[in-house]
């Protein structure tokens, strides 16, 4: 067993990206994980990664002490280390400077991972996910999750600036909102309960005290199909707002996406370079197609589609090709939408609803909500749901429920579109699907 050091009173003075020619000759304390070791004629180069980037540590036989050289000889890829030393300007090193060490601490030696994180051929995503926290050290993964951080910050500041209150609603619930088929049951003490599929009912109720709310939180879907765009645990970006309708929330959603895409493109130029991709193109305005017009469009291409059918499979692929980037499909048949979506007063067969699409991928859905208790009871019955199961929710409608509207946006799906990733698992830290509950 190789000896390992303790952190003691060592604390970081700089991150890797701050090791530049401007701080030539300064004393620094750095930490990180070794990503490569190369020895050439008595000179050893260690490349060490931290969360910001990488720095180089160089030792020379005869210049550094034997004790230090011996320590360096025991270091391999992934070893976690601390380095105290002097910065030396040198053109060939990352950021134009290297560190000449006076002391090195080795915290943990590392096994060789089952695949190389620092270049070389990658195994299947399933093999990588089995050791996800090591896989996340890959430069590409680092870039993706940096983009996700910038995205989340952008979403939050958009909502905060516009006066939405951030809320957190229960994830253990007693009644389903988005259809029974995709529901996870759990045992809540000794009675049945479920994992929430969306914050739908709570966010609607919260328009009563707060008017405008948003939540970025987990939602659970027991999806049977294991596809590139479905997970069993997602992050849902939800809003709900009083005294507006679906047209207003479509405007809000469009503005949100445009701003998030712009901030991600501005703030993550280096990350897009690492991904070797350009930020997603954002149209001047998002087309709004009614469901009727989509049915006509599909009907012009193939026979057999009738009003009321869902738009799926090949038809969505084709729509995606025709309408390209972001577009809305609005005014869906009432029967195709959940009970809380408001039917149009003049044409109740049609609802005040929308889906936001990017190509063939659904990013969000939303609508104006039913605000009348009698109508909500009727809609529940039409959908073969028991009003008694929604007693608490219906009770709130006795106390001045305002007209309201909102949407739910899948964060991982938005990440797929912003980064050009094809598999939703790549943009999820620890993805869950029918076959995966670990790590
Ligand atoms: P919906 O069920 O359409 O609407 O979900 C909203 C958005 O969440 C994302 N999403 C998923 N992403 C990955 N894997 C899944 N299994 C998955 N399921 C859903 C999609 C989808 O558009 N309460 C309504 C929203 C509202 O009306 O406010 C709802 O949940 O991006």
Q: Read off the pLDDT of residues 117-166 as tens digits, 9 standing for 90 and up.
A: 888 899 999 999 999 999 999 999 999 999 999 999 999 999 999 999 99
User: Could you tell me the CA-to-CA distances from 436 to 60, 113, 415, 433 in Å, in that order?
Assistant: 48, 21, 21, 5
411 CB within 6 A, ligand 1: no
Which residue would you say has higher pLDDT here, 113 or 367? Answer: 367
Which ligand 1 atom sits nearest the alpha carbon of residue 200? 23
Share of the chain above pLDDT 90, in %: 93
Distance CA 177, CA 198 (A): 7
Query: For ligand 1, atom 17, which residue shows the shortest CA distance?
Result: 230
The strand pair at 404-410 and 361-368 is best described as antiparallel
Share of the chain above pLDDT 70, in %: 100
pLDDT for 261 equals 98
Q: How confident is the model at residue 299 (pLDDT cuts 50, 70, 90)?
A: very high
Ligand 1: centre distance to CA 364 (Å): 6
Name the residue of 329, 393, 410 whose CB sits within 8 Å of the most ligand 1 atoms, as the mutation to test its pocket.
410
> Can you give the length of the chain in residues?
439
Which ligand 1 atom sits nearest the alpha carbon of residue 340? 27
Peptide bond into 251 cis (omega under 30): no
Distance CA 32, CA 362 (A): 40
Query: For ligand 1, atom 23, which residue shows the shortest CA distance?
Result: 200
Query: For ligand 1, atom 9, which residue shows the shortest CA distance?
Result: 410
235 CB within 6 A, ligand 1: no
pLDDT for 120 equals 85
Query: For ligand 1, atom 11, which residue shows the shortest CA distance?
Result: 410
Distance CA 397, CA 385 (A): 18
pLDDT for 119 equals 84
Query: For ligand 1, atom 8, which residue shows the shortest CA distance?
Result: 410
pLDDT for 1 equals 52
Average pLDDT over residues 377-389: 94
pLDDT for 42 equals 94
Query: For ligand 1, atom 15, which residue shows the shortest CA distance?
Result: 230
Predicted TM-score (pTM) of this structure: 0.96
358 CB within 6 A, ligand 1: no
Ligand 1: centre distance to CA 178 (Å): 9
Q: By three-state DSSP, how is residue 183 classified?
A: coil
79 CB within 6 A, ligand 1: no
Ligand 1: centre distance to CA 229 (Å): 11
pLDDT for 152 equals 98
Q: How confident is the model at residue 274 (pLDDT cuts 50, 70, 90)?
A: very high
Which of 174-183, 222-231, 274-283, 401-410 has the weakest average pLDDT? 174-183
- Identify the structural domains of the chain with CATH numbers, from first to last: 16-108 (2.40.50.140), 134-427 (3.30.930.10)
198 CB within 6 A, ligand 1: yes
Give the contacts of 60 (CB within 8 A, at least 6 positions apart). 42, 43
169 CB within 6 A, ligand 1: no
User: Which of 144, 138, 143 shows the shortest CA–CA distance to 121?
Assistant: 138
363 CB within 6 A, ligand 1: yes
């Amino acid at each position: 067993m190789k000896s390992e050091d303790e952190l003691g009173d060592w604390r970081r003075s700089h991150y890797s990206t701050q090791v530049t020619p401007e701080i030539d000759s300064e004393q620094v304390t750095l930490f990180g994980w070794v990503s490569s070791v190369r020895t050439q004629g008595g000179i050893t180069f260690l490349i060490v990664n931290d969360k910001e980037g990488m720095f180089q540590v160089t030792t020379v036989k005869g210049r550094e002490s034997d004790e230090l050289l011996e320590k360096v000889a025991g270091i391999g890829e992934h070893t976690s280390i601390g380095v105290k030393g002097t910065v030396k300007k040198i053109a060939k090193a990352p950021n134009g400077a290297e560190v000449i060490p006076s002391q090195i601490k080795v915290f943990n030696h590392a096994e060789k991972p089952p695949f190389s994180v620092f270049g070389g051929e990658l195994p299947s995503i399933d093999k990588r996910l089995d050791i996800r926290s090591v896989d996340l050290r890959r430069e590409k993964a680092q870039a993706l999750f940096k983009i996700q951080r910038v995205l989340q910050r952008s979403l939050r500041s958009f909502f905060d600036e516009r006066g939405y209150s951030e809320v957190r609603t229960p994830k253990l619930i007693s009644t389903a909102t988005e259809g029974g088929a995709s529901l996870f049951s759990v045992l809540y003490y000794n009675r049945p309960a479920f994992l929430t599929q969306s914050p739908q009912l709570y966010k609607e109720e919260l328009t009563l005290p707060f008017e405008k709310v948003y939540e970025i939180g987990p939602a659970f879907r027991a999806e049977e199909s294991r596809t590139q765009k479905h997970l069993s645990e997602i992050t849902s970006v939800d809003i709900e707002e009083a005294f507006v309708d679906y047209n207003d929330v479509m405007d809000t959603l469009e503005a949100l996406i445009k701003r998030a895409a712009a901030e991600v493109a501005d703030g993550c130029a280096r990350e897009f370079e690492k991904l070797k991709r350009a930020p997603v193109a954002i149209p001047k305005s998002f087309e709004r197609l009614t469901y009727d017009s989509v049915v006509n469009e599909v009907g012009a291409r193939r026979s057999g589609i009738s009003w009321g059918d869902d738009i799926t499979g090949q038809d969505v692929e084709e729509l995606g090709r025709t309408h390209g980037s972001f577009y809305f499909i609005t005014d869906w048949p009432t029967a195709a939408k959940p009970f809380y979506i408001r039917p149009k007063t003049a044409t109740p067969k049609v609802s005040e609803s929308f889906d936001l699409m990017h190509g063939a991928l659904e990013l969000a859905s939303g609508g104006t909500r039913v605000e009348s208790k009698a109508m909500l009871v009727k809609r529940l019955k039409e959908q073969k749901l028991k009003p008694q199961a929604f007693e608490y929710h219906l009770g709130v409608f006795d106390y001045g429920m305002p007209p309201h509207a909102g949407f739910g946006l899948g964060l991982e799906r938005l990440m797929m579109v912003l980064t050009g990733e094809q598999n939703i698992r790549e943009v999820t830290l620890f993805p869950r699907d029918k076959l995966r509950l670990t790590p």
